[in-house]
Structure 1
């Protein structure tokens, strides 16, 4: 009886050793992947785009923002100095801002804010931002909306 218990215990030890040596490594590897150890930490980078745009009242205004290495991070658009976002990801944050849309094609770097029927009160500084554990990355775009009857320096360049 004592030999059977010892043999059963040794079998149990061998099984546990096998489980922890093979499956334990798999578990550690999967944990390291979930913590980001298997992938380099991506730091978002804003790509060069115009930071000053001018449109006439009533135009469709496009505020450009392009971000490389975004990963799973979320893009937020807001108008300064307000803290309330206009968009969070692809979603409009406040439904009353129905003239605002986000123009983004999946797997592309562009996250442009589009304002339909732009008005002079839309003028100001807008912020395209990405937050991560390492901090918040921001790019400001200044929108100037002029009266449709007044010419701008180069209207075609602004569109």
Structure 2
């Protein structure tokens, strides 16, 4: 017959051995790779009134967010899939689990032309991908 005090003593010994083994086990965690931009075009030209698609492709995004903004404006146009401007022409094109985070501008106008920035913010550093949007006037026929 086993007495309760013997069971308690055995459990304490097992606990001490287990705790000592855990303390000796080296902690090896593989570092999470930082996000990086994949090479895409950096110069886009569209006709006035067309749908403009500015490309941005990010590898190793993990839980971070992609932010689109005009280079000349500190305020974001989009963060993740959400749009932060009242301009309904502006939205993000992104399919789940894909690397592409393209900025779409419907019915692009001449004043939309300029530098845009696709960025990923992280604690390590701010990552940026700059693209230029050129908008050319639509040719209009006039009657004589």
Q: TM-score, normalised by structure 1?
A: 0.73
Cα displacement string for residues 1-56 of structure 1 (whole angstroms, at most 9, x for unaligned residues): xxxxxx59x9389449628936x95xx99xx7xxxx63422211111111010111
**Gap runs ≥5 in structure 2:** none
Question: Could you list the runs of 5+ residues in structure 1 that have no partner in the other structure?
Answer: 1-6, 151-159
Matching of residues 32-71 of structure 1 within 5 Å: 38-71=29-62
Q: Kindly tell me: are residues 19 and 47 of structure 1, through their superposed partners in 2, closer, same or farther at Cα, counting changes over 3 Å?
A: same
Distance between the aligned counterparts of 1:133 and 1:17, measured in 2?
42
Question: How far does the alpha carbon of each residue in 1:55-83 deviate from its partner, in whole angstroms, 9 at most, with x for none?
Answer: 11100000000011111111000001211
CA RMSD of aligned residues (A): 2.8
Residues 42 and 71 in structure 1, CA contact (< 8 A), matched pair in contact too: no
Q: 1:141 aligns to what?
A: 131
CA distance in 2, matches of 1:52, 1:149: 21
> What is the total number of aligned residue pairs between the two structures?
134
- Structure in which a larger fraction of residues adopt helix: 1
Return the match for 2:15 from 10, 15, 18. 18
TM-score for both structures, normalised by structure 2: 0.80
